Chain A
């Protein structure tokens, strides 16, 4: 066997034969074949953490549902990405996200440009069956240009990852456990007083909801995420 040849695995996704490199995830392999799996915390150009669970898929031989974004391809794997069971759970995940904090779409800066909102629509979500929690959460507008509204945060950690992996500042992190979790700047200091923040605005661009936004706009403009795969590609090229 040629040691330079890539280790290729062959698997089936939704009945389609797919070959993928051994270091690829089920999500990557599916998307390369044009098969769509819904995602929320995933963003091309950032590492994957499997935080949102929307990309759950069925894998033959196990009763557990697997998050496609952090599941490596395996030889002979049989994956199902669309089923009534998956649709039920994906809807449930979206409903729980809506119920957990105060997502009042009608008065949100991201109304019309929100990943959570359009995923809800794409999954036929017309109402939330769980009681809303209505937590009392803060808005930090101490930064000169940006603000964070914790009412709209879904804890996807895209901001944490882009700040660490792409900007290299690691201003953002997550504090607390479970329902008390929250994204923070530095050691839970006001964003405007952060020593590490470079005010690059990458976190604002990658935020899927209205949690992070640029000040001074009644309605946020469409967020620009194209820079991420481009940056990742250019940096890889330099190595």
Chain B
């Protein structure tokens, strides 16, 4: 049986979902026999590969880079999983949506610092006017709410997907869990 090609992606989130992923502890060893980790912030591949079977996406779509990445990820992946509340709802990153992007940047780089610094506009990607959940930008196959989803929830989701089933998460997790 060929291994499932798994990728994990970190967009605009706190990496808590990835911490929860690592919290699967020794169960990661069970999974390791059945998956091949082809891309992740936990490993050192630079380019998102082709023919990914399952991708776990943490974080909301907040910058032009996120938008560019998620489109490429969608094209190159069979099953896209929105992992955690940021990917599923926008969550904390989306709290800036009640304000204009310029006001948010001014608050961070001018009003709230003792030594005002120029707002970065090179090298770092530009913020989108509005943070949005992943499924507002590309189709999503599986939604796993939670902040973060528990290691049990992630393990259940992955084992179901590896077995070729769609995980039924009813009763296992919720927004803010």
Question: Hey, which bits of chain A sit against chain B, CB under 8 A?
Answer: 98, 102-108, 111-112, 117-118, 120-121, 124, 126-129, 131-132, 134-137
Interface string of B135-147 (1 = CB under 8 A from A): 1100010011101
Give every chain A residue within 8 A of B88 (Cβ-Cβ): 126-127
What total count of A-B pairs have CB within 8 Å? 69
Complex Cα distance, B100 from A88, in Å, reads: 35
- On B, residues with C-beta under 8 Å from A are 82, 85, 88-92, 94-95, 97-99, 130, 132-133, 135-136, 140, 143-145, 147, 169-171, 173-176
Top 3 A-B pairs, shortest CB-CB distance? A105-B176, A106-B147, A134-B97
Nearest Cβ on chain B to A97's Cβ, whole angstroms: 12
Residue contact B144 to A126, C-beta cutoff 8 Å: yes
Q: Indicate whether A117 sits within 8 Å of B176 (C-beta atoms), given known contacts A127-B145, A134-B98, A135-B98.
A: yes
Q: Are B174 and A127 in contact (CB under 8 A)?
A: no
Which residue of B89, B170, B171 is within 8 Å of A132 (Cβ)? B89
Task: With A104-B91, A127-B82, A134-B94 as known contacts, state yes or no: A111 contacts B99, CB within 8 Å.
Answer: no
Q: Which of A126, A131, A132 contacts B143 (CB 8 A)?
A: A126
A104 touches B95 (CB 8 A): yes
Give Cα A126–Cα B88 distance, bound, in whole angstroms: 8
Of the listed residues B92, B132, B144, B145, the one surrounded by the most CB atoms of chain A closer than 10 A to its CB is B145
Interchain residue pairs with CB less than 8 A apart (12): A105-B85, A118-B174, A120-B174, A121-B171, A126-B88, A127-B140, A128-B89, A129-B135, A132-B94, A134-B98, A135-B98, A136-B98
Give min CB distance, B88 to chain A, whole Å. 5
- CB contacts (< 8 Å) of A136 on chain B: these are 98-99
Question: A117-B174, A137-B98 given. 5 additional CB < 8 A pairs?
Answer: A104-B94, A121-B173, A127-B82, A132-B133, A136-B99
Which chain B residues lie closer than 8 Å to A126 at the CB level?
A: 88, 143-145, 169
Tell whether, in the assembled complex, residue B135 and residue A127 are in contact, meaning their CB atoms are under 8 Å apart. Answer: yes
